Chains A and B, each alone.
Chain A
C-alpha cells in the first residue's frame, strides 16, 4: 500500500486533471467541442449571416470584414467566399459581397433558427438572458427548417425574439424592426422599449444588469451628450450614450399609470396594500403564467401581510389567499396607489402618491 501522503497527492492531482478536462464551458472537453464549430458548414452559415446583417444595415461587406467577423485568416476567407460564389449564394460586385436570392433565403433560415431559439430559451427555460445569444449561435446550425417550424408552432408562432428583433417567417418574410433610437425621445415623452441589441454581448449584459428589458415602459427625463436619464418601473435610470445607442423605443401616448405613480410590490412595507398595474414583460414563461394563475393581474389589490424569517420571501394577501413571493418576483410586479390597509374602503380607490 502507498503512503497516505502519496495517496493524497495522487487524489488532488487526479481531481485537478478531471476538472481541467471536464469543467463545464472551460474544460478541454468543452473547448474541443467548440473547436469543431469551425467545421465548414458552420463557417459558411456564419458568413452568410454576416453578409445578411450588412445588407440589413445597408453598408458594404467585404472579404476582410468576413474574415474579421469569423475570426479566420484571409486565405481561409477567400476559399470560403469562393466556395459560396460557386454554390450560387454570393456575388461579388465592385469588391462588395452581395447575397443572391438563394443566399438570402438560406441566411434567413439561419436567422430564423437563431431568433426562435432565443425566444425558446427566454420563454421555456431558466437560461440567463446574457447567455441567450451565445447559445443560439450554436443551435442555429443544428436546427433544421422542419425542427424550426415545429418549435415555432410549440411557442405559439412568436413574432419577435426576446431582444425585439423580428423572427423571419417560414416563407422568408421578415418584419421591420420597430422603433427609433432611445435618444430620439424628447424629455417628458413616453415610450416602450422595443429592441435591445444583443451584440456586442458585453453591452447587452450591461443593459440587462441595469434592469432593462423589451416591453419596459419609460419616460424620458433628460438627455445630453454625456448621459440619458429616464424613469421606468418607479426608478431613474442613467445610460451612457454608447449604451443608449443599442436601445430602440416606440413612442407612446401618455399611459394610464405614469412612471412616477408606479412602483413595484417589493417597495411595500408590512400592512400596506396596492393595486397591481401589470406583471413586467421581463417575467416570462412558466413564472409569468404561475403569477397570473395565482390572480396577480392588472387591477388586483395586493396587501403585504408579513415578511419571511430568512430574508427575501414575503407573504402577500391576494384575493383572500396568502401567497409567498420572493423579492425578485415582487420586483417584477408593477403596482400603484399604495396605502395603509384599513384606511380606504373596498370600493373607494383613493389615489395617493406612490412611494418609491
Chain B
C-alpha cells in the first residue's frame, strides 16, 4: 500500500484546518471566497465523465454558478460538511489533458498549481479508463493530494468491464473510490476519503511517470536535480522541469516572480539570480531534446495510462462493449433515417415550444397586463400619484417589462429543458456529426448546427452555447451568424404579418398554409444567410484565426429529467430573462416618454417618425417601423406593440393612449389600423425581411461582447446583419416598385 491511514479513530483534529495546504491569497485571486470554509476541494476530469453529476450529488442544491474571473468559462462551486469540517468544492473545466494551451486547461492547471487545493478529486469514467487515466496521471504530477473517483462503474459493467479498484489505487498511489454518482452509490465513501486526504490522515504517494524516451530522460533528470538544489521544498520538480523544457511561459514567469517558491512555503527567500540561472539552463537544454519533445510527453503519458488500465481491467469477452450505442447510432446516423429523424425531432421540439407556450403566455399576459396594470393605475390614483409619473412608471417601465416577461418566459422555459435533455442524452452530438459536411463547406463547425438551433429559441442563449465550439475561428463565425436564426421573439411578428399581408393574397381556404409557408421561407432565408455569411467570413476577415476540429460522440446516457429541468431553468432561462428585463425597463420608459414629451406642438415620437420616414420609405418600410426598431432594440418581442402604438398615434386611430403599447385580439383589427397607417403588401414583406435581418437585440449584443471580449467582433456582429437588412429591403422595394410600375 502506498497510501495509508496514519491515525486511527474518529480523527477529529484540534484545529478544523489541520493539515490544510490551500493558498488563500491565490484562491481569492481566482475568485474563490474561503470564508466559512476549512478546506477547498477541486474537481477535475475529462468531459463526458459524469463530473457534474458527481458535483451535484455531493453539493445538492447548495451550489452557485458563474464564470472564472476574466474568462468566459463557466464555473460551479458548492459546499459540503462532514462532521464539523466544512469543505468548499470547486468544479474545474472538463479537459482531456493539462498540457495544452487552451483556456480551459490553463484554468484547471493553474488552479491545481497555484491555489493548491487541499484535495483534488479526479473523476474518471470507468468504461473509458485508459483515456481518463491520462488526465489523472497529469494531475498526480502536479499535486500529491488527490483522490480518484472511479465513476460510472455500473456502465462499465454493462460494457463487460470490471475494474480492480484496489489494484488501481496501489498503482496510482492515491485512494480510488468506485461510485455511481447518479444513484449516489459510493458518494459517502468518497466524502470520507476526501476528508481523510484533506486532514492528512490518508497520505498519498502519487505515481509519477519514470519512463521517458531515453535521450529526454537524461535531460529531464539533469534539470530536475538543478531545480531541486536551487529550490528545496518543491514537491513536483520533475514536472516543473518538463514544463520549463516545453517552454511554458506561465511556469517561467511564476519561477521568475518567486511565486512558485513562495508556494513551497519553506520561508527561505531565494535570490532572483537563482531563478534566472535555472531558466537559463532550461533554455540551453532545450536544444538537446529534439523537436518531438511535446509529442513524446503525450505518448509516454498515454502509454502509461494504457498499461495501468490494462493491469486493473478485466474484460468479459462475451459482452461486446457499446452494442446499444452502436445500434442507436446505426439508426440516427443512417443514410435513410438520419436526416428525417433529425428534422422530426427538431420540429417536435419547436412545435412543443410554440404551442406549449401559448397557454402560459396568455395567462401571464392576462395577469400581468390585463389585470395588474389597471390595478396599478387604480392604486396610483388612490395615492394621488401625478399622472405623468404614473404613466411613466406603469405604462412605460412596468408595461414593457411585463410584456417581455410574459412573451419570453414560457417558450424559453419549455425550449431550454427540452434541448438540454437531448444534449445530455447524447443526441445533439449526432446532429452535429450528421450536418458537419454542410457546415464545413461554409467554413464552419458542425456544432454550429446546435448553436443555430439554440438561436431559434433565443439568440443570446445561442451565443452563450457557442462555448461548445473549441476552435476560435469557428466559434466567432457561430457567434456572428447566430442572429440569422429567427428567434422566439421574432416568430410572433412573422406569423402576424404573414397572416395579414401574405395569407390575405391567397384564397381563404389555403390562406393559413400560404402564410405558414411565408414564415418558413423567412426562416429558411435566415439559414441560407447563416451559411452564406459563414462562408464569407471564413474566407475574408476571419481567414487567419486559428482553427481546429474535434467532435466527440459521447456514449448515450439516460438524461436526468428533474435535474435538467431545474438547472436549465436556473442557468439558461432566468439569466437570459433577467438580462432582457434589465434592458426592457428603460426601453419602456423611452417609449412612453417619446409619445408624451411634446416639442413644438407634437410629440418627440412624431418628430422622429417624420425624420426617419424618407429612409424608411426608401427601403420599403416607413418611419414608424424604423423608430419602433430603434426603441425596441432591447427585445424583439415589443416591436409589434410599439408599431401599433406609434401607428395609432400618427394615424389618429384609437389606441391605448400615447406611449402605451398594446395589441389587438384579432388580426382584422390590426390590418385595419395598419392600412390606415399606409401599409401595403410591400411593407408587410419588407418588415418580415427586416425582422430577420437587423441588429441583434441589446441582450444579445451585450452577450456577444461578454463572450468575445472584443469591440471589433461585437460591432461586426451588430452592423453586418443591419447592413444586410437595409440592402435586401432596399433591393426588394426598388424591384417591387419597378415591376409594379
Contacts and interface: CB of A to CB of B under 8 A. Distances in A.
B302 interface: yes
Interface in B273-302: 283, 286-287, 291, 294-295, 298-299, 302
A297 B306 CA distance: 12
A329 B550 CA distance: 10
B617 A126 contact: no
B249 interface: yes
A191 to B, nearest CB: 16
Contacts, number: 173
B433 A315 contact: yes
Interface string A126-170: 111000000000000000000000000111110110000000000
A306 interface: yes
B321 interface: yes
Contacts of B130: 295, 319-320
Given A279-B295, A286-B548, A294-B96, A326 B436 contact: yes
Contact of B437 (A11, A294, A309): A309
Given A153-B247, A293-B298, A320-B130, A326 B546 contact: no
A279 B435 CA distance: 26
Interface in A296-343: 297-300, 305-306, 308-313, 315, 319-326, 329
B711 interface: no
A324 B551 contact: yes
B545 interface: yes
B440 A312 contact: yes
A351 interface: no
A287 B306 CA distance: 23
B436 A292 contact: no
A271 B294 CA distance: 31
A289 B100 contact: yes
Interface residues of B, number: 75
Chain A interface main SS type = mixed
A24 B738 contact: no
A312 B551 CA distance: 13
Contact of A309 (B434, B541, B731): B434
A160 B287 CA distance: 11
Interface stretch (B77-85, B331-339, B457-465): B331-339
A290 interface: yes
Interface in A102-133: 121, 124-128
A1 B617 contact: yes
Contacts of A323: 550-553
Nearest to B310: A346
A153 B249 contact: yes
A293 to B, nearest CB: 4
A5 interface: yes
B734 A11 contact: yes
Contacts of B291: 159-160, 215
A162 to B, nearest CB: 12
Nearest to A309: B434
B549 A326 contact: yes
Interface in A255-291: 278-279, 285-287, 289-291
User: Which of A5, A310, A329 is most buried by chain B, counting CB atoms within 10 A of its CB?
Assistant: A310
B553 A153 contact: no
A287 B333 CA distance: 26
Contacts of B145: none
A87 to B, nearest CB: 33
A7 interface: yes
B436 A310 contact: yes
Given A8-B738, A279-B295, A157 B731 contact: no
Give the most central of B303, B329, B433, B541: most A CB within 10 Å.
Answer: B433
Contact of B548 (A290, A297, A299, A311): A290
Contacts of B521: none
Interface residues of A, number: 55
Nearest to B325: A322
Given A11-B730, A154-B249, A156-B247, A324 B436 contact: yes
B435 A297 contact: no
A154 B101 CA distance: 11
A309 B430 CA distance: 10
Contacts of B96: 293-295
A294 to B, nearest CB: 6
Nearest to B282: A157
Nearest to B734: A4
A24 B96 CA distance: 38
Interface in B511-567: 540-541, 543-555
A7 B734 contact: yes
B546 A321 contact: no
Contacts of A160: 291
**Of residues A215, A291, A298, A320, which shows the largest number of chain B Cβ atoms within 10 Å of its Cβ?**
A320
A153 B279 CA distance: 11
A324 B433 contact: yes
Contact of B246 (A124, A156, A295): A156
B420 interface: no
Interface string A188-206: 0000000000000000000
Interface string B666-688: 00000000000000000000000
Given A308-B433, A308-B436, A126 B731 contact: no
A321 B552 contact: yes
Most chain A beta-carbon neighbours within 10 Å: one of B302, B733, B737: B302
20 contacts: A4-B733, A7-B734, A24-B540, A124-B546, A126-B544, A157-B286, A287-B547, A289-B99, A289-B294, A292-B298, A294-B552, A299-B302, A306-B330, A306-B333, A308-B433, A310-B438, A320-B128, A320-B322, A322-B555, A323-B553
Instruction: Give 7 closest A-B pairs by Cβ, nearest first.
Output: A156-B247, A310-B437, A322-B553, A4-B734, A126-B547, A287-B548, A4-B737
